[in-house]
Amino acid sequence: EICVAVPAPYLSFVRQNLPAHIHVAAQNCYKVSKGAFTGEISSAMIKDNGCNWVVLGHSERRHVFNETDKLIGEKVKHALDEGLSVIACIGEKLEEREAGQTNEVCFRQLQTIVDNVTDWQRVVVAYEPVWAIGTGKVATPEQAQEVHSALRKWLVDHVSAEVSASLRILYGGSVNGTNCTNLAKLPDVDGFLVGGASLKPEFVSIINARK
């Protein structure tokens, strides 16, 4: 399954020019349907453009725009209530990893998402270590698998074994055409959240990494 997330002004253009089997997602969505929220994008606007996915909680929304876990949880609930499918992002900063807080941070962020999910079939979780986004650094396969495995175990304890087994957990963080093959072999990595490499020809290699 392929989904491309584009800036809001290009949602309609991209949706009209890609085949139907490729999903198109917005990169953000506010927590209410309408109101005086200048510059925001609503679920209705996303659907008006023929799109049915949205990325929420991306690290840049968290750390550049200071979105809190609570706000992201509210956005997840609203998007699901409005019929959108959600790619919910979690991940730790470099100082948090170095302090041994990776699981603590990821579990806290995931808890707020879990509290607001009504339909797990329309949710994908993306683990994106913030220190590996756009830096050229990438988590080793062992580091990625360790976190993904810990997330699945946490889901067994806090949601259900069924959700833990069926939920798709993506890895995001400087994925490229060179490292994608080894990452795709990991048992708990179900796909990728791709940034800069999605604008390059190697994106095709990443899409086909599991074949």
Q: What ranges make up the beta strands (E) of 91-127?
A: 123-127
Q: What angle do CA 37, 118, 161 make, to 5 degrees?
A: 140
SS3 state of residue 2: strand
Mean of the per-residue pLDDT values of the chain: 96
78 is catalytic: no
Mean of pLDDT values over 180-204: 96
- Lookup: tokens for 66: 């200071």
Tell me which of 58, 67, 78, 92 is the catalytic residue.
58
Q: What band does 165 get if pLDDT is binned at 50, 70 and 90?
A: very high
Task: Calculate Rg over the CA atoms of the chain.
Answer: 16
Judged against a pLDDT cut of 80, whether residue 193 lies above it is answered with yes
Instruction: Please tell me the predicted confidence (pLDDT) of residue 132.
Output: 86
DSSP 8-state symbol, 174: S
Q: What is the mean pLDDT of residues 200-205?
A: 96
What digits encode the pLDDT tens for the residues 4-47?
999 999 999 999 999 999 999 999 999 999 999 999 999 999 99
> Within 10 A of 143 (CB to CB), how many other CB atoms are there?
16
Write down the pTM of the prediction.
Answer: 0.96
Alpha-carbon span 33 to 43, nearest angstrom:
6
* Of 173 and 154, more confident: 154
- 58 catalytic? Reply is yes
* Residue 10: per-residue pLDDT: 98
Going by pLDDT thresholds of 50, 70 and 90, the confidence category of residue 209 is: very high
The backbone torsions φ and ψ at residue 44, rounded to the nearest 5 degrees and listed phi first, read -65, -40
Predicted local confidence at residue 28, as pLDDT: 98
How, if at all, do strands 191-192 and 22-26 pair?
unpaired
The model's pLDDT over 101-146, given as tens digits with 9 standing for 90+, comes to: 999 999 999 999 999 998 999 999 999 999 888 777 778 999 999 9
Set 78, 92, 128, 148: catalytic member: 128
